[in-house]
Structure 1
Amino acid sequence: MAEDHDGRAPTLAAQAKHDREMSDYYEMRDRIIARVAHLDPYPRMAIERAVRVLRAYFIDRRNRAPRHGTLEGLMLVGKNADPAAKIAWDREPLLFEIWAFVDHEAYKGKERYWGRAQAVLRSQLGRAIEVELSVFTIAEAGRFLLTNSWLAERYDGGIVLYDRAMDPPRSSDAEAAHERIANAAEALDEPQRIAFQRYRTHGFDLGRISRALRTSEAEARMILAEAFGALLAEVGDEARTRTLRSHLGNHPRHNLDLYHRPGDFDRLLAVTFYRRAVDHVGMMVEAHARDRAGKIVQEAAYATEFALKALLLHVGYSEDWNRRFIGLDLEGTMRHARANGLEPPSDELERLITPLSDYHRGGRTPDQARAVLTALPPAEIVETAATLVADVGTITGYAGLLGEELP
């Protein structure tokens, strides 16, 4: 055991605290790097260093109330926060826009609290990387959607680099939640445990995950989705207080203790939806074998919805957007799917989609089911819906994946 500065061996409690702090330190570094995996290695490491510097130099020097200022979070915004962008360092410096969030107006003063940090950043990052810093209060973040659409768009598209409610050092409640997640992750069966570990280290890099699992990227996505499903079932989807994403509500996509980016939830949900569509096709075929026409229509509606939304999630739509602007409108979903790779519908699908959409949106009543059966006989409904699911599987690469075995 190492000695402390007085030459005495540290106590077990002190050593345990030191070990925990070092574990948090390395975990936080890994988290930041994984959250900006779309960057080249050099700017990726520069962002991680910038976060460390900005966190270290938020110092409270006030001698009167409000005395104890808190850094609530750091976020990368702008074009370099786009994971689809190709961002590589060239001769010109890369400019990264970082937003800091504090708990009181008094702590927004750059000269008092951030001047030294910016000077250190310039000296440590050199000429290749520049950081443009803006400081807001945590309350302002919640008002962006109401007061400034431009700021709201950048905020919603940003990458959370540090969130005090989620990341170390944590409150006692957050620490307990993190401990539950860590224990649940360790208890995952393989290959889910391997998939989750790779995701935590490298972010949503299906190439790395699939190589570790020795499987296809589509199946790796399925296994990772199963891992997250198991974890959410184990630890729940409780919201963290004061998180940067608190205005979005209690939803697992915003639990940054699990997801590197909120959008990762939607990318995993794509394969989950496809597998649900496959299961509904199976139940539809079984209903046809039992000559249950009403059940055929019901399962066809669900298979169609989940298949089309799987495609939309796969190409970048969010589940929240789908729910707010499409809902159960199968015709509307079809239009968006056609704009994103789905072939024009067959004659059978053209005849089916309108009455099936009316049925699905209207509460799935027996009268609406009869209207669907008037448009297309049961056998053709089964074939048409199954073909649509197969086409989505081909476009997304999910063809061949097993269903989810719905209850």
Structure 2
Amino acid sequence: MTSSNFPSDDSVGGTSRRALLRALTTAPIAVPLIASPWGEALADLHDHHGDSPAALVRTRTGRSLSRFRYHNAESFYQGLGHGLYYNDGGEMIYRSGIVAQLALSSHLLDVGFADEWNARHIRLDVAKSLAHANATGFGHDCPDMARLAAILSPYWKWGHAHRIDAPLPDNGGFTVDEVRLLLRALLDRVHDVTGHRRPNGWRREQRDARS
């Protein structure tokens, strides 16, 4: 499973993704969602969750934070890629939640969501992050990733401190290798859509993980 399985979604409703993001960057005020090809999908999500509307405004600060989140996601993935949590399924799922949320946050920040809005309304809900990402041109309509995102949400429930004297939540039957492949595809999609460069040493890490 690779990122090539998913469309690039460079054109949204007749408007190129690049042109739309450029408009969100240069607009002096928040671009009304109704004027965006993503407006209807986001309005439906806001209504469903009872959230206040998000104003999408791209900034250099947001772009920089987006890159930082993507690189952090790749960093957290390294332990999973090297198989460090094969003997602790709960910790593996918990770490997977961190990777997925960081990766999806990178996309949301890149298209103009404010980090404060994400913290208030999305929090640690990976499934909600994925839904908002796909509503704004992420184009990662992978049923298995959607199912994993639902299992991960909210990912704090998989943390060690919350598992003391308590049974593990249902992991949906996912194996470690299946989770790794799904997260690798998610990270590759973030890289492709945002255009962020790979972190330093990424290729070496990939070789080491395969060896």
Q: Do both share a fold (TM > 0.5)?
A: yes
Corresponding residue of 2:67: 271
Corresponding residue of 1:395: 193
**Residue 285 of structure 1 pairs with residue 81 of structure 2:** yes
Query: Which of 127, 139, 143 in structure 2 is aligned with 1:331?
Result: 127
Alpha-carbon distance in structure 1 between the residues aligned to 2:201 and 2:91: 19
Give the fraction of aligned pairs with identical amino acids, expressed as a percent.
22
* Superposition RMSD in Å: 2.8
More strand by share: 1
* Count of aligned positions: 148
Q: Which has the higher contact order (CA 8 A, sep 6+)?
A: 2
Q: Give the Å deviation of 1:341.
A: 1.9
Alpha-carbon distance in structure 1 between the residues aligned to 2:176 and 2:168: 11
Mapped contact 2:125–2:153 kept (Cα < 8 A): yes
Alpha-carbon distance in structure 2 between the residues aligned to 1:397 and 1:317: 17
Mapped contact 1:297–1:369 kept (Cα < 8 A): no
Bigger Cα Rg: 1
Corresponding residue of 1:73: none
What 5-or-longer segments of structure 1 have no aligned partner?
A: 1-81, 87-153, 158-261
Query: Is the alpha carbon distance of 1:85 and 1:391 closer, same or farther for their aligned partners in structure 2, counting shifts above 3 Å?
Result: same
Corresponding residue of 2:177: 379
Structure 1 runs of 4+ off > 4 angstroms? 367-370
C-alpha distance after superposition, 1:16-63 (max 9, x if no partner):
xxxxxxxxxxxxxxxxxxxxxxxxxxxxxxxxxxxxxxxxxxxxxxxx
Query: Is the alpha carbon distance of 1:381 and 1:322 closer, same or farther for their aligned partners in structure 2, counting shifts above 3 Å?
Result: same
Query: Is the alpha carbon distance of 1:394 and 1:344 closer, same or farther for their aligned partners in structure 2, counting shifts above 3 Å?
Result: closer
Query: Is the alpha carbon distance of 1:385 and 1:369 closer, same or farther for their aligned partners in structure 2, counting shifts above 3 Å?
Result: farther
Mapped contact 1:355–1:368 kept (Cα < 8 A): no
Corresponding residue of 2:116: 320
Q: Give the Å deviation of 1:267.
A: 2.0
Q: Give the Å deviation of 1:318.
A: 1.1
Q: Give the Å deviation of 1:325.
A: 1.3
Q: Give the Å deviation of 1:280.
A: 1.1
Q: Secondary structure at the match of 1:402?
A: coil
Query: Which of 296, 299, 303 in structure 1 is aligned with 2:99?
Result: 303
Corresponding residue of 1:72: none
Alpha-carbon distance in structure 1 between the residues aligned to 2:76 and 2:167: 19
Mapped contact 2:86–2:176 kept (Cα < 8 A): no
Mapped contact 2:74–2:187 kept (Cα < 8 A): yes
Q: Secondary structure at the match of 2:124?
A: coil
What 5-or-longer segments of structure 2 have no aligned partner?
A: 1-23, 31-57, 203-211
Q: Give the Å deviation of 1:322.
A: 0.7
Length-normalised TM-score, structure 1: 0.33
Corresponding residue of 1:31: none
Q: Give the Å deviation of 1:306.
A: 0.3
Corresponding residue of 1:84: 26
